[in-house]
A and B are shown apart, each in its own frame.
Chain A
């Protein structure tokens, strides 16, 4: 619908909407996170959900103890290689539509443990991440900002057409292979369908 016509109608007291807008509006305001934390970032996540920052204002106060009732996974903390298969398995057990926020330096890149042998260099190696938050740990405000970014992203999702949302596209996977414990490292060490090693492009 034409934006100009819509605002003209609104001035006359006629409100119009589309099914897509209504659907996304409902979804973005009731995103239930999965209640789990991996390290110190989880403390900031807990703080963000309590009265001072109050994640409930955004419709995300209901931390679910089961992945089967959750819409959002906040990967809050260091993902060790020993923990990574369990995180992927939890993600696989969440029903669609599902979203992932990688919170903090460790979850997005390995952080201070990046050069170690036992920490995953970012959870985006195994599952698709919607919003990355830098910081060590990020402030609750940063988590709120990431949450609002996710809400905008949900709001933009299309229900039909070529660019339709991932969970509505039958061709796109909703579960990802769980890495196995190998003799020296996880096998495979990353999922190439989700993640590609960074290539540096320098200008000049």
Chain B
């Protein structure tokens, strides 16, 4: 398979206006991915599927990620004049990042036997602009997985042929896989509680939680 950089430049050349970004993965697996802009996502996906050198004809997995609002801190070196001498000083710069929802597609090529290529799409925010283009018209197998993401994360896939809840029932209001989901408060006694369950025990059975 071509390197991620060359796929990126190839796609950007082929589709005018498409903006791709490489998302680095610092973990030992080093599975870097491509962030695709929403406006050109369907065109990029079609290109990845149909280009004879790429032929990513199989979307093996589609999943969602919830990113909450976060304060990012980053160490930067700043030149400062201290006691009349110019010195390099490390400063911590803090920025607020607005939360967003993300879908991740793992693509393989059955024909050329390569992969995975991981592409990501990000929504503008987690509330009113949680829209993404559906890639089901490109990879039919993404249909149920996009429905599952819609069900559990609340991402609305524009262009999906049949966007309904798939695991929870119609009329269910919450999105259980979001990080700020609170489940129904129906805790019951458990003999060996730990972690979050222990916290619930303390609320419901205060006498039991004492050491």
Beta-carbon contact of A183 and B172 below 8 Å? yes
Beta-carbon contact of A189 and B184 below 8 Å? yes
Chain B 36-71, CB-CB to A under 8 Å as 1, else 0, gives 000000000000000000000000000000000000
Chain B 192-211, CB-CB to A under 8 Å as 1, else 0, gives 00001100000001011000
Chain A 98-134, CB-CB to B under 8 Å as 1, else 0, gives 0000000000000000111110010000000000000
Which chain B residues lie closer than 8 Å to A117 at the CB level? 176, 181, 183-184
Q: Which residue of A lies closest to B208 (CB)?
A: A200
Stretch in B16-24, B90-98, B113-121, B162-170 touching the partner? B162-170
Q: Does B84 contact A (CB under 8 A)?
A: no
Considering only residues 190-204 of chain A, those with a C-beta below 8 Å from chain B are 197-198, 200, 202
Which secondary structure characterizes the binding site on chain A? loop
Q: Does A57 contact B (CB under 8 A)?
A: no
Q: Which residue of B lies closest to A115 (CB)?
A: B197
Q: Does B75 contact A (CB under 8 A)?
A: no
Beta-carbon contact of A118 and B167 below 8 Å? yes
Beta-carbon contact of B188 and A183 below 8 Å? no
Beta-carbon contact of A181 and B169 below 8 Å? yes
Q: Does B140 contact A (CB under 8 A)?
A: no
Which chain B residues lie closer than 8 Å to A152 at the CB level? none
Which secondary structure characterizes the binding site on chain B? loop
Which chain A residues lie closer than 8 Å to B189 at the CB level? 198, 200
Which chain A residues lie closer than 8 Å to B197 at the CB level? 115
Q: How far is the CB of B178 from chain A (nearest CB, A)?
A: 12
Q: Does B86 contact A (CB under 8 A)?
A: no
Given known contacts A82-B167, A118-B167, A198 and B172 CB-to-CB distance under 8 angstroms: no
Cα-based distance from A184 to B176 in the complex (angstroms): 10
Beta-carbon contact of B172 and A184 below 8 Å? yes
Cα-based distance from A189 to B188 in the complex (angstroms): 13
Chain A 78-89, CB-CB to B under 8 Å as 1, else 0, gives 000110000000
Q: How far is the CB of A4 from chain B (nearest CB, A)?
A: 47
- Number of chain A residues whose Cβ lies closer than 8 Å to a Cβ of chain B: 18
Q: Does A185 contact B (CB under 8 A)?
A: yes
Which chain B residues lie closer than 8 Å to A115 at the CB level? 187, 190, 196-197
Q: Which residue of A lies closest to B171 (CB)?
A: A181
Which chain B residues lie closer than 8 Å to A200 at the CB level? 189, 205, 207-208
Q: How far is the CB of A17 from chain B (nearest CB, A)?
A: 45
Cα-based distance from A200 to B167 in the complex (angstroms): 34
Q: How far is the CB of A61 from chain B (nearest CB, A)?
A: 35
Beta-carbon contact of B169 and A82 below 8 Å? yes
Q: Does B88 contact A (CB under 8 A)?
A: no
Considering only residues 104-127 of chain B, those with a C-beta below 8 Å from chain A are none
Beta-carbon contact of B173 and A183 below 8 Å? yes
Q: How far is the CB of A124 from chain B (nearest CB, A)?
A: 12
Chain A 171-195, CB-CB to B under 8 Å as 1, else 0, gives 0000000000111110001000000
Q: Does B12 contact A (CB under 8 A)?
A: no
Given known contacts A115-B197, A189-B184, A200-B208, A184 and B173 CB-to-CB distance under 8 angstroms: yes
Q: Does B186 contact A (CB under 8 A)?
A: yes
Can you list the 9 inter-chain pairs with the closest CB atoms, starting with the nearest? A117-B183, A185-B184, A183-B173, A181-B169, A82-B169, A117-B176, A181-B171, A198-B189, A184-B184
